[in-house]
Amino acid sequence: MENNWEPKILAFLCNWCSYAGADLAGTSRIQYPPNIRVIRVPCSGRINPLFILKALQSGIDGVLVSGCHPGDCHYLSGNYIGRRKSATLKRFLEYIGIEEGRVQFSWVSAAEGGKFSQLVYEVTEEIKRLGPAKRFVKNRV
Residues that bind another protein (CB under 8 A): 49-50, 53-54, 57, 70-71, 77, 80-81, 83-100, 104-107, 119, 122, 135-138
The DSSP symbol for 113 reads: H
Nearer to another protein by C-beta: 26 or 101? Answer: 101
In the complex, the smallest distance separating the C-beta of residue 31 from another protein, rounded to whole angstroms, is 19
In the complex, the smallest distance separating the C-beta of residue 133 from another protein, rounded to whole angstroms, is 11
Nearer to another protein by C-beta: 4 or 118? Answer: 118
In the complex, the smallest distance separating the C-beta of residue 138 from another protein, rounded to whole angstroms, is 4
Nearer to another protein by C-beta: 24 or 64? Answer: 64
Q: Which of 25, 14, 23, 24 is closest to 47 using CA atoms?
A: 14
Q: Which of 59, 65, 30, 61 is closest to 45 using CA atoms?
A: 65
In the complex, the smallest distance separating the C-beta of residue 94 from another protein, rounded to whole angstroms, is 7
In the complex, the smallest distance separating the C-beta of residue 107 from another protein, rounded to whole angstroms, is 6
Residue 20 CB coordination number (10 Å): 20
Nearer to another protein by C-beta: 5 or 92? Answer: 92
Nearer to another protein by C-beta: 3 or 139? Answer: 139
C-alpha separations of 2 from 6, 78, 126, 132, 134 in Å = 9, 40, 16, 10, 14
Segment holding 65, helix H or strand E: strand 62-67
Q: Which of 137, 125, 117, 134 is closest to 66 using CA atoms?
A: 117
